[in-house]
Amino acid sequence: MIVEDLDIYLEDHGLPCTCKAINFLGIKDSGDDNIASSGINAQVNMVSLLVKTSDVIKAGIKHGVVILVDGVAYSARNPARLDDGAFSSIPITLVPI
């Protein structure tokens, strides 16, 4: 079995994140997505956070949990494991002040 240091992937672009007193790094991405419904198309901005799945489990991140990303509060939606499951993508929404 090959052991990888997953932190290397997050060091250059990762932002400091905190959830339930657990500190970790995450890469915030803000991409546009097209949504089609009843023949109407809309373009929306989807903000997500790429983190190690082990951090998701350790911090108990699930829908509705607040994550501080570089000092800004976001509400998590359902995390989804990517590819081999080492990383997860968490859709996040800015928490209104």
- pLDDT tens for residues 63-89? 999 999 999 999 999 999 999 889 999
Give the whole-angstrom CA distance, residue 32 versus residue 21: 31
80 by DSSP, 3-state: which?
strand
Give the whole-angstrom CA distance, residue 21 versus residue 80: 22
pTM: 0.82
- pLDDT tens for residues 9-38? 898 899 999 999 999 999 999 877 777 777
58 phi, psi to nearest 5 deg: -60, -40
